[in-house]
Amino acid sequence: MEGQVVGRVFRLFRRRAGPPQDNSGEALKEPERTQEHSLPNFAGGQHFFEYLLVVSLKKKRSQDDYEPIITYQFPKRENLLRGQQEEEERLLKAIPLFCFPDGNEWASLTEYPRETFSFVLTNVDGSRKFGYCRRLLPAGPGPRLPKVYCIISCIGCFGLFSKILDEVEKRHQISMAVIYPFMQGLREAAFPAPGKTVTLKSFIPDSGTEFISLTRPLDSHLEHVDFSSLLHCLSFEQILQIFASAVLERKIIFLAEGLSTLSQCIHAAAALLYPFSWAHTYIPVVPESLLATVCCPTPFMVGVQMRFQQEVMDSPMEEVLLVNLCEGTFLMSVGDEKDILPPKLQDGILDSLGQGINEFKTAEQINEHVSGPFVQFFVKTVGHYASYIKREANGQGHFQERPFCKALTSKTNRRFVKKFVKTQLFSLFIQEAEKSKNPPAGYFQQKILEYEEQKKQKKPRGKTVK
């Protein structure tokens, strides 16, 4: 299997929905780690979600520690075959640990800042399950423990599910019974295509009928991303060094206090690699019991809460980039991060990022502004890949690596690309391109065509770029 597999194998099946169920459950077994592949480009039409779960903290018997368990599940799967039931049980045992990655030491609270974050569980066949979480204090008087609403879906669209969690939270303050018709209506609605809207009708006691509109972003390759947190925590130069480390598939650890910050920043860092996909260990928020992940000899991109900083620093690690998002500093680095990318292209990215960044108001505008220069970087370095796939009569392609690299006139670009073509990022991408008779008609291909057209319109200067 490509990449570092870190986790139980979840072979999941779509099944008929039954009525919701409350359950207290027994102590859940600790899951192992999970791997993440690329976010799929969903065309629309499939179900929004597979489960809505409430994960609560329950005190262990004869101990002061707490353990997270599922106390509400919708829908409840029925009439499963034995193998299907075992797979579902493994999935449901994994989820609570990622809803409360902080460990088991908790105390009742009167105030707690709401946090929205996500995690990813991936099967060896590449199928993904996204967990969208809202952690908060339930309504009520006096000290109490936080709980998590968690929506499990095979769809990557963080902004859309954050809005759904807002609606779930609003209804839970009234009664769990009010959630059921809303989520049932959501399950029956088709997931919209990029740029389209689905409207749900929902009745709330004492408020009447509400119409809720859920719009999917037009640019689907950025719909699981919000670059705002990354820009708030780090400079453009630091973001560029993280990108350079990720391009060469190195080990990257993010440290932050909040789950929301960790989740958003690591998703943003991975999104900078578009159209390529991080195929190694990927855990947005590492649970305490899985901190040994940072000792892995293979590439990883993980987020760790600041309370575990010393434990991470004391772990045996080599060639790692350790990013403190709270202070905006690198605590550890290899030392060559500024020299990985071609200097001229680095300067171009930094210039583009700095132009008018303060003028953008919406998350979509910021996302497009930040992502654009990195997409252009790949257009300029590897955008000519399709011309170097030699096809057989049956349509199967074979990538011609040597002439592909030699086609670059810039020595610094060629030096970088010779390293990049050896990564799994590039290998997985080119394997898919070899299978397809035509380049995929996506955002990256659109930018390649635009760049080629611009080059045609420019007069040749007869000069080799150094």
Q: Confirm if 76 and 18 have CB atoms less than 8 A apart.
A: yes
Is the model's pLDDT at 85 over the cut of 70?
yes
Q: Do 125 and 56 have their domain in common? A: yes
**Over 60: is that where the pLDDT of 12 sits?**
no
Determine the average pLDDT of the residues in 293-315: 92
- The structure tokens listed for 190 are 């088709």
327, 431: one domain: no
- Residues ≥6 apart with Cβ < 8 Å to 278: 36, 37, 38, 246, 270, 301, 425
The partner residues of 68 in beta bridges, in order of sequence, read 57
Eight-class DSSP state of 337? G
89 located within any domain = yes
The yes-or-no verdict on residue 1 having pLDDT over 50 is no
Of 194, 216, 239, the residue that ends a domain is 194
Domain check: are 270 and 376 in the same one?
no
The average pLDDT across 210-217 equals: 83
Q: Residue 17 pLDDT > 50, yes or no?
A: no
Contact status, residue 387 vs residue 378, Cβ threshold 8 Å: no
Window from 20-24, 196-200, 351-355 with minimum mean pLDDT:
20-24
User: How would residue 125 be classed by pLDDT, with cut points 50, 70 and 90?
Assistant: low
Considering its fold, how many domains does the chain have in total? 3
Do 379 and 449 fall within a single domain? yes
Phi (first) and psi of residue 399, to 5 degrees:
-75, 135
- Please state, in angstroms and as integers, the Cα–Cα distance from residue 199 to each residue in 151, 202, 213, 251, following that order: 19, 10, 4, 42
Q: Which residue has the higher pLDDT, 73 or 244?
A: 244
User: What is the model's pLDDT at position 218?
Assistant: 67
Question: What was the pLDDT predicted at 190?
Answer: 85
Q: pLDDT class for 208, splitting at 50, 70, 90?
A: confident
Amino acid at residue number 367: N
Mean pLDDT of 416-430: 96
Question: Residues near 25 by Cβ (< 8 Å), separated by ≥ 6?
Answer: 69, 70, 71
pLDDT surpasses 60 at 102: yes
Going by their DSSP bridges, the two strands 128-136 and 115-122 should be labelled as antiparallel
Q: Is residue 183 located within the same domain as residue 244?
A: no
One DSSP character per residue, 69-96 reads EEEEEESPB-S--HHHHHHHHHHHHHHH
In a domain, 283, yes or no: yes
Residues 254 and 282 in one domain: yes
| Size of the chain in residues | 466
pTM of the entire predicted model = 0.80
CA atoms within 13 A of residue 338's CA, in its CB half-sphere: 6
Query: From CA 123, how far away is CA 167, in angstroms rounded?
Result: 30
335 in any annotated domain: yes
**E strands within 306-444?**
320-324, 329-332, 389-391, 397-399
Q: Are residues 99 and 186 in the same domain?
A: yes
Contacts of 31 by beta carbon, 8 Å cutoff, 6+ apart? 7, 8, 90, 93, 94, 97, 98
Angular region, 228: left φ>0, alpha ψ -120 to 50, beta rest: alpha
pLDDT digits (tens, 9 = 90+) for 20-78: 343 333 333 333 333 333 333 444 447 789 899 999 999 887 677 889 999 999 888 77
Q: What is the pLDDT of residues 355-411, one digit of tens each?
A: 887 788 788 888 889 999 999 999 999 999 999 999 888 878 999 999 999 999 999
Of 302, 330, 350, which residue is a domain's last?
A: 350
pLDDT of res. 430: 94
Residue 270 and residue 294 share a domain:
yes
pLDDT tens, position by position, 138-161: 878 889 999 999 999 988 888 889
Q: What are the residues facing 141 on neighbouring strands?
A: none
Q: Evaluate whether 281 touches 296 at the Cβ level (below 8 Å).
A: yes
Other C-beta atoms lying within 10 Å of the C-beta of residue 328: 12
Domain finish residue from 350, 377, 392: 350
**3-class DSSP state for residue 448?**
helix
pLDDT at res. 104: 73
In whole angstroms, give the CA distance from residue 381 to residue 243.
Answer: 15
Whether 324 and 391 share a structural domain:
no
- Output the domain CATH number for residue 84: 3.30.450.200
Average pLDDT, the chain: 83
> Rounded to an integer, what distance in angstroms lies between the CA atom of residue 133 and that of residue 130?
10
Q: By residue range, what is the domain housing residue 262?
A: 227-350
* Phi, psi for residue 356 in degrees, rounded to 5: 65, 25
Within a domain: 166: yes
Are both 235 and 312 inside the same structural domain?
yes
C-beta separation of 83 from 225 below 8 A: no
The verdict on residue 281 lying in a domain is yes
233 lies in the same domain as 342:
yes
Q: Which residues contact 255 (CB under 8 A, 6 or more apart)?
A: 303, 304, 305, 306, 309, 312, 322, 323, 324, 325, 326, 331
Please say if the pLDDT value at position 328 is more than 80: yes
* 250 and 181 belong to one structural domain: no
pLDDT, mean of residues 257-286:
92
Q: Which position has the higher pLDDT, 105 or 325?
A: 325
Q: What is the CATH number of the domain that holds 266?
A: 3.40.50.11500
**Residue 394 forms part of a structural domain:** yes
Residue 418 lies in a domain: yes
5 falls within a domain: no
